[in-house]
Amino acid sequence: DVLMTQTPVSLPVSLGGQVSISCRSSQSLVHSDGNTYLHWYLQKPGQSPQLLIYRVSNRFSGVPDRFSGSGSGTDFTLKISRVEPEDLGVYYCLQSTHFPYTFGAGTKLELK
């Protein structure tokens, strides 16, 4: 299985600040069709996960432009600028290039 390693595990932030979350895969996530299937989710406390970014850098419907994704191959980053209270929770990366699909262990964004 593809191992997805997220860092850091915990990320203290001040409201209005900017943070970055790293996600590294144990093998390349470039699919045979040429696409890279790396996605980002946020799970707020007591809620189900919600899709933020799909295919590395595409914001899902309704996601503010404070969220941006980048990366290639095995190394990916989610950046959040101007952090707001509703951004707090656990962030997960997901790879869906290789079966079985695998998630990172999560990064908890919390107030400093």
Partner 1 sequence: EVQLAESGGGLVQPGRSLKLSCAASGFTFSDYYMAWVRQAPTKGLEWVASISYDGGSTYYRDSVKGRFTISRDNAKSSLYLQMDSLRSEDTATYYCTTWGSHWFAYWGQGTLVTVSS
**In the structure, how many helices (H) and strands (E) does the chain have?**
0, 11
Binding mask 53-92 for partner 1 (x = CB under 8 A): -xx----x-------------------------------x
**Are the CB atoms for 94 and 3 separated by under 8 Å?**
no
- Give 52-58 contacts, CB < 8 A, sequence gap 24+: 52/78, 52/91, 53/78
Is residue 103 involved in binding partner 1 (CB under 8 A)? yes
Largest CA distance in the chain: 42
Q: How far is the CB of 74 from partner 1 (least distance, A)?
A: 17
Residue 37 interacts with partner 1 (CB under 8 A)? yes
- What is the binding site for partner 1 (CB under 8 A)? 31, 35, 37, 39, 41, 43, 47-51, 54-55, 60, 92, 94, 96-97, 99-106
